[in-house]
Amino acid sequence: MEGKIIVVTGASGALGKVVVATALAKGARVTAIDHAASTMKATPDRIELGGVDLTDASEAKKAIDAAASHFGKLDALVNIAGGFAFETTAEGDPKTWQRMYALNVLTALNASRSAIPHLSASGAGRIINVGAMGALQAGAGMGAYAASKAGVHRLTEALAAEWKGKIAVNAVLPSTIDTAANRASMPNADFAKWVRPEELADVILFLASDAASAVTGALLPVSGRV
């Protein structure tokens, strides 16, 4: 990853923070984008763009263009921005379906569309999306979330087909991620079976690296330690 220029969306979340830190440790330079306000000063290897609504195509383009302009190019986009909701189909709010689509599909779509001109010029362009194993077969209460993440899977496949030979596009499909929020919401779960953010970050950054040049259109389940 030495010298790679990477954009990470959802960068202030539990996974986003780890991906940013791991990328920097591997020698990349990173633009961290998030809906939350910026809280960190820029360094030579890292800038933070806060207050960005990636559901708005114009805001996404402005942020991605700013990242590419600051570092002179863009090699990889990691789409982590998203959301989760647990509601049964019959009793839930129909607006939840719209919100899940906006947070999970539109953010990845708008960021990807904005990044494509820069990534196609890189010579080693990469897009890595975050799908979900739970979208492969939805359980009770998971309809809106799973449907939106299934949309991320199909978006990944379409982009990979459209840009094959120019941009490699893949998605990771994590099981439950071992975060403080997930532990609080599921205190009786076996945390040892969950995937750690550090493990997931390593897979994401492998897909962003030159070593993954032959991989595109893949939906890679990441289920944690075996």
Contacts of 134 (CB under 8 A, 6+ apart): 142, 145, 146, 149, 175
Nearest to 21 by CA among 138, 207, 36, 40: 40
Query: Are residues 145 and 100 in contact, defined by beta-carbon separation less than 8 angstroms?
Result: yes
Nearest to 122 by CA among 80, 166, 62, 78: 166
- Check 71, 145, 163, 194 and give the catalytic one: 145
Residue 197 to residue 144: CA distance in whole angstroms: 24
The torsion region of residue 172 among left (phi > 0), alpha (psi -120 to 50) and beta comes to: beta
Active-site annotation holds for 145: yes
Q: What residues act catalytically?
A: 145
